[in-house]
């Protein structure tokens, strides 16, 4: 990926990330919980769990993906993530052709169709 290297979200940034980014605003978590509508949440770029952990505390299953192994390590060090969610690192160095998005695309499209149908 262009402009992505170890300094972007590598170990040096992961060490101090939580000091610079505040916890998620309560109204943001309220909105995300409402959008989840009792289902699972996929967080792309889960980082250190600013959004995922408050959602999990509300009983929402969160699956997270991040391109930074250092950020995932920081997230896994937090006690509330031990058996909470699936977390994985997917290397982006080779480009995005090594990641299958069909299942995610299908789920997003299904959700959009359901929301449109419900809005009528």
What residue ranges of the chain have pLDDT lower than 50?
A: 1, 83, 92-99, 120
What ranges do the domains of the chain cover?
6-119
Decide if 94 contacts 68 (C-beta within 8 A).
no
The full length of the chain comes to: 120
Sequence-distant (6+) residues with CB within 8 A of 67 are 1, 4, 9, 45, 89, 90, 91, 92
In this predicted model, what pLDDT tens digit does every residue of 34-57 receive, in sequence order? 999 989 888 888 888 999 999 999
> According to the model, what pLDDT value does residue 119 have?
58
What is the fold of 6-119? Answer: Rossmann fold (3.40.50)
pLDDT of residue 117: 78
The answer for residues whose C-beta is within 8 angstroms of residue 98's C-beta and 6 or more apart is: 90, 91
Q: Are 56 and 78 in contact (CB under 8 A)?
A: no
């Amino acid at each position: 990926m262009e402009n992505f290297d170890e300094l972007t979200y590598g170990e040096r940034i992961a060490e101090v990330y939580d000091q610079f980014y505040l916890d998620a605003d309560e109204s943001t978590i309220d909105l995300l919980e409402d959008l989840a509508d009792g289902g699972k949440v996929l967080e792309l770029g889960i980082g250190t769990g600013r959004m995922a952990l408050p959602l999990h505390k509300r009983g929402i299953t969160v699956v997270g993906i991040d391109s930074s192994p250092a950020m995932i390590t920081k997230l896994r060090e937090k006690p509330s993530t031990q058996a909470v969610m699936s977390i994985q690192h997917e290397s982006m160095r080779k480009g995005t052709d090594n990641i299958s998005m069909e299942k995610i695309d299908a789920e997003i499209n299904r959700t959009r169709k359901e929301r449109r149908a419900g809005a009528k």
